[in-house]
Structure 1
């Protein structure tokens, strides 16, 4: 009798290693392990994951390089929108899981899988992100989540693997780290409290540079095309360059506190050097090149975009509508931004752009007016204030006449 096929989202950690063995040895599935690289590991690490998967007895293993698609489908719009969740977090993990889940669903459809499995627990956001996308993209495929469904402890998982001939040591790291193109999340005992900050050693990128250095980022229609004069064939390579330069200063570290999809408050540390610098640099360029009302509308739609991405609603068609707006808004966002990098911080020095609306042809703020006269301003303010005068005068009379009444 032909075995049923299950696609396993495989990270190589304890949970997904348990799933690989449990699905094949206990449930009798043919396991097709798939890892989706969204900028989190090297070719050498990819090979290690492949070896680990086959040592666990999987039928097949595939690593999907989704870095380019990750940028094109998601990260690009996070830059266009200057998206920071709660004005802090660049949505690194939210964006990654969305793309990873889609790639896993595509693979399941490609091989005609009967089921999809992932190693999420019942405590976090990722279980919702995976489940929701699987339910939408391949609704006929069963979703299996052994760790969540059986509420397994770490010790129970290790014991099961040992009993099934898998002797690899699983060391419980002091800090859990999830690395990707748009940032690295860091969790530990400190993030389980409301009080404590992560220690220096918890962050994967340690300080290597102490002397200030200059960074020049060039954008074309909102996308990075060059860093320090070096042109790149794809923006995600430029992001990697900025990450390398800025992470050496320990830039982009913080702790995010927010509302989880499952209804509780959650706290996570992160370092996102490239995201921090690029978003702020892009935003500065926009402030010079977009109109007042473009910026106002963008900020509102960008907040919605980030919230819906976080809440696992990436596949809602309204997200494509917002992406169209964000893309159209970038027509004039072209130019260079000049940044100075320091340990733990950076300074935005200014911009150069042919679309810079801060032109002295029309006036110099606080210094000279070339496009209007004093009388023009007097007439303008008289008209603008008219509705306010009517409101305050009428309500002032009503307030005065009502005094002394019971």
Structure 2
């Protein structure tokens, strides 16, 4: 199929082997100008060197945007409000970063007059969908190019050979052995591929780049208090922090105590299973603290319904549907539940464990004078008999139907209720 003519492409550029190869490949195959766009979302790295590499690879321009604060406030804090966790373990670090990156990529294309977008997501992964659904939601007039669905590069050896042929710098340590595929941002460090493709083998300790192992974590527990206002974490040990500062502080603290490691086989959107390991210290602490506070201030029906909605919210984020009407509607629901979620939670961090040791809120629905087993003015224990009889009536009818001869229930005698 002939390639669609494009003139200027904005590439989501990480500076790694794949996206570095994409620059000359686009020029060769589309004859277009390539602008490399990089989002600083807390992944670290030398951005000056990244710019030099992008330009040396043939890009006409390198655009860098610092999105760490926006990521924390507009994406991660709503995630905390929701309590969403994908398949019980994954705190959605990569899945939530992709729509942010793609949204700014679209904005750069519009600002610079580009007519196409490109990304490095593979044909087997989730990221291709996350990028392209965002493009579709924000500017469907832009042409989308996915090199992994077009080019002949299939292995790491192919990628290294292509890079060398086009004078793209390759690290001296880069070999052709199986290596990890990693993704880092403010929220987490993700590890996939390489040795992790064997699900039976435990990850090597050397794989972890952020957190201490529980065995080697500090021997002395840390106690930390977290203040919340309307569902938003606002202070650590009484010190007010911005969302960005909050996450950075708790990442450092949690990592020292082995907090936030998750090893799971997850269900990819494309239908495959993948084995991933994640390090999310701050996210794990904040999610645990927020859950404890909600248990104190939300009524049972709201709490239980919200848990079900959180499962759908996690699925939407994982599947790349951040910019969708349902996600926006769920955010409105979650925000409405957060009005009473103000208070303080005290946690004990010790060798990979998060142990709640204190809860308080001016909106607490827990009152010790009501919960006591003793006598009080709010709850008459004698009333529980009638409640239990009515609540269990369906069980009683079922049992009578099963136990009476022939399964027939004797007709009740209502004559005793007749008035004289």
Q: Same fold (TM over 0.5)?
A: yes
Q: Distance in 1 between matches of 2:406 and 2:238?
A: 65
Q: Which residue of 2 aligns with 1:230?
A: 239
- Structure 1: 5+ residue stretches without partners: none
Moved more, 144-153 or 241-250: 144-153
Can you list the C-alpha shifts for 1:325-366, whole angstroms capped at 9, x where unaligned? 1011011111111111212222121212111211124232x4
CA-CA distance at 1:27 after TM superposition? 2.8
Q: SS at the partner of 1:362?
A: helix
CA-CA distance at 1:322 after TM superposition? 0.5
Q: SS at the partner of 1:216?
A: strand
TM norm structure 2: 0.88
Q: Which residue of 2 aligns with 1:161?
A: 163
Q: Distance in 2 between matches of 1:344 and 1:372?
A: 41
Q: Which residue of 1 aligns with 2:413?
A: none
Q: Which residue of 2 aligns with 1:148?
A: 149
Q: Which of 361, 379, 385 in structure 2 is aligned with 1:378?
A: 385
Q: Which residue of 2 aligns with 1:199?
A: 204
Q: Distance in 2 between matches of 1:398 and 1:236?
A: 70
Q: Distance in 2 between matches of 1:317 and 1:335?
A: 31
Q: Which residue of 2 aligns with 1:80?
A: 81
- Quickly say closer, same or farther: Cα 1:317–1:396, change in 2 above 3 A: farther
Q: Distance in 2 between matches of 1:302 and 1:311?
A: 14
Structure 1 segments (4+ residues) deviating >6 Å:
none
Q: Distance in 1 between matches of 2:80 and 2:6?
A: 45
Q: Distance in 2 between matches of 1:245 and 1:285?
A: 20
TM norm structure 1: 0.91
Q: Which residue of 1 aligns with 2:190?
A: 185
Can you list the C-alpha shifts for 1:82-101, whole angstroms capped at 9, x where unaligned? 21111111011111112112
Can you list the C-alpha shifts for 1:364-395, whole angstroms capped at 9, x where unaligned? 2x455441223222222233233443343245
CA-CA distance at 1:142 after TM superposition? 1.4
Q: Distance in 2 between matches of 1:315 and 1:206?
A: 32
Residue 8 in structure 1 maps to residue 11 in structure 2: yes
Q: Which residue of 1 aligns with 2:36?
A: 33
Q: SS at the partner of 2:368?
A: coil
- Structure 2: 5+ residue stretches without partners: 410-420
Q: Which residue of 1 aligns with 2:329?
A: 321
Q: Distance in 1 between matches of 2:200 and 2:406?
A: 48
1:7-406 alignment, distance < 5 Å: 7-41=10-44, 45-152=46-153, 153-169=155-171, 171-172=174-175, 174-207=179-212, 209-232=218-241, 234-364=242-372, 366-397=373-404, 400=407
Contact 2:261 2:281 in 1 (8 A): yes
Moved more, 329-338 or 171-180: 171-180
CA-CA distance at 1:259 after TM superposition? 1.1
Contact 2:180 2:195 in 1 (8 A): no
CA-CA distance at 1:267 after TM superposition? 1.3
Q: Distance in 2 between matches of 1:340 and 1:65?
A: 33
Q: Distance in 2 between matches of 1:332 and 1:353?
A: 9
CA-CA distance at 1:108 after TM superposition? 1.5
Structure ID, larger Rg: 2
Contact 2:188 2:280 in 1 (8 A): yes
- Quickly say closer, same or farther: Cα 1:53–1:376, change in 2 above 3 A: same
Q: SS at the partner of 1:150?
A: coil
How many residues are paired up? 397
Contact 1:225 1:235 in 2 (8 A): yes
CA RMSD of aligned residues (A): 2.2
